[in-house]
């Protein structure tokens, strides 16, 4: 492991030196790619440097203990240092095992998020709106950029469907855990008798595909324009700025009405279409993998119930986690504090991959 860690530390240094190369600084894409590579190595380098330093200190202490010329007091100090260093080195090794697990290249991508009201009538639409606001607050807290793409408002508030994009560092790697069925238990405002209702909304998180990831032929598309609906500027319902794109081979239909220009709406709709087509190809590739290598937490399955938001008990339960990591304060979560859940899901994912590799 020591040689591998040392090689990664040297790689990180080399990449940092490249950032000073005029050819790199003048190439925005290359500069961004190298910066991302440096960032992805940063945690391994941080822990790896401590690990190697501790190994060197351990070797020096052992030399002192084994040397006949070492004075008794110094030898005793060396024994104490060995006893302190050995458990610390084991901790670093365990942490590095997790950090060295190969990452999904999609984790670094931006993402498209689709929320759809499920069972529960009007309350499901209201809950879909709650989830959208939760992700808005989460994006604000993490410094991510959120762009609304399309929406279909529900009659009593919230959304029948809302689609938006998120841009930021490692955003798909964090948001992928949100894919699945989110269930809410509460007394709706629309409930006259005060009965507890259970409603649901589904969330799909797709890695944002680049042009190079998916090739789309122009003659495979049918593009329609129509007037925007819902809240908006003066041009709403007066000028045809909304775009509907139909991908003829797959039948996928994407709409975008948030922007005031056809061009911007078309760009956003194409972004979603590329991501949907990329996801189809990604799923095919996953299905070809051995079932033992698939992640047990099924981050991409929108049909799986992953989380319950219980209003009376002020509790959010993530059903993929166990023990003390399972329950969270509801108010904090709906106000955007999602990172504690996401971090525990990252640990679970890495543990499962590590166990699969051992098997």
Average pLDDT, the chain: 87
Q: If you ran DSSP here, which 8-state letter would residue 120 be given?
A: S
> Would you list the DSSP string of 34-52?
HHHHHHHHHHHHHHHHHHH
Mean pLDDT over 7-31 rounds to 91
Residue 213 has pLDDT above 90, yes or no: no
pLDDT of residue 97: 87
- What backbone torsions phi and psi does residue 295 show, to the nearest 5 degrees? -70, 130
Task: Name the band, by pLDDT with cuts 50, 70 and 90, for residue 108.
Answer: confident
Q: Which single residue is written with the structure tokens 């975008």?
A: 256
pLDDT of residue 195: 85
Cα gap 308→297, rounded to integer Å: 16
pLDDT of residue 346: 92
Structure tokens, 142: 């993490």
Question: Any long-range contacts for 255-264 (C-beta under 8 Å, 24+ apart)?
Answer: 255/150, 256/149, 256/150, 257/150, 257/151, 257/228, 257/229, 257/230, 258/147, 258/148, 258/149, 258/150, 258/151, 260/232, 260/233, 260/235, 262/225
- Per DSSP bridges, beta strands 221-226 and 242-247 are antiparallel
Residue 233 has pLDDT above 60, yes or no: no
Structure tokens, 120: 């529960």
Which of 160, 197, 180, 171 has the alpha carbon at shortest distance from 310? Answer: 197
Which carries the bigger pLDDT value, residue 357 or residue 296?
357
pLDDT of residue 240: 76
Cα gap 254→271, rounded to integer Å: 10
Which range (7-11, 105-109, 123-127, 313-317) has the least confidence?
Answer: 105-109
Mean pLDDT over 44-66 rounds to 94
Residues 110-164: tens digit of each pLDDT: 999 999 999 888 999 999 999 999 999 999 999 999 999 999 999 889 999 999 9
Q: For residue 271, give the H/E element and its range.
A: helix 262-288
Residues 235-283: tens digit of each pLDDT: 444 567 899 999 999 999 999 987 888 899 999 999 999 999 998 888 8
């Amino acid at each position: 492991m020591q040689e591998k860690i040392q090689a990664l530390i040297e790689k990180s240094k080399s990449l940092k030196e490249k950032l000073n190369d005029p050819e790199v600084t003048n190439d925005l894409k290359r500069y961004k790619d190298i910066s991302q590579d440096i960032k992805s190595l940063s945690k391994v380098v941080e822990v790896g440097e401590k690990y190697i330093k501790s190994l060197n200190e351990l070797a020096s202490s052992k030399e002192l203990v084994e040397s006949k010329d070492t004075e008794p007091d110094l030898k005793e100090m060396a024994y104490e240092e060995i006893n302190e260093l050995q458990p610390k080195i084991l901790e670093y090794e365990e942490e590095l095992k997790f950090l060295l697990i190969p990452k999904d290249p999609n984790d670094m991508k931006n993402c498209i998020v689709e929320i759809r009201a499920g069972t529960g009538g009007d309350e499901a639409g209201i809950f879909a709106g709650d989830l959208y606001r939760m992700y808005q607050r989460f994006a604000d807290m993490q410094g991510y950029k959120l762009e609304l793409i399309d929406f279909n408002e529900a009659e009593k508030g919230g959304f029948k469907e809302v689609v938006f994009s998120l841009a930021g560092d490692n955003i798909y790697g964090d948001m992928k855990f949100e894919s699945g069925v989110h269930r809410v238990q509460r007394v709706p405002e629309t409930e006259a008798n005060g009965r507890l209702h259970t409603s649901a909304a589904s969330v799909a998180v797709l890695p944002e595909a680049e042009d190079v990831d998916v090739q789309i032929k122009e003659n495979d598309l049918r593009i329609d324009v129509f007037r925007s609906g819902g809240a908006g500027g003066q041009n709403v319902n007066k000028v045809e700025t909304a775009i509907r794109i139909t991908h003829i081979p797959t039948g996928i239909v994407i709409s975008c009405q948030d922007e005031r220009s056809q061009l911007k709406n078309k760009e956003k709709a194409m972004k979603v279409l590329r991501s949907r087509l990329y996801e189809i190809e990604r799923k095919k590739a996953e299905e070809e993998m051995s079932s033992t290598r698939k992640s047990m937490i099924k981050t991409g399955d929108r049909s799986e119930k992953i989380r319950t938001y219980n209003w009376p008990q002020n509790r959010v339960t993530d059903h993929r986690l166990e023990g003390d990591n399972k329950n969270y304060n509801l108010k904090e979560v709906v106000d955007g504090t999602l990172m504690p859940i996401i971090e525990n899901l990252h640990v679970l994912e890495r543990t499962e991959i590590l166990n699969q590799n051992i098997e």
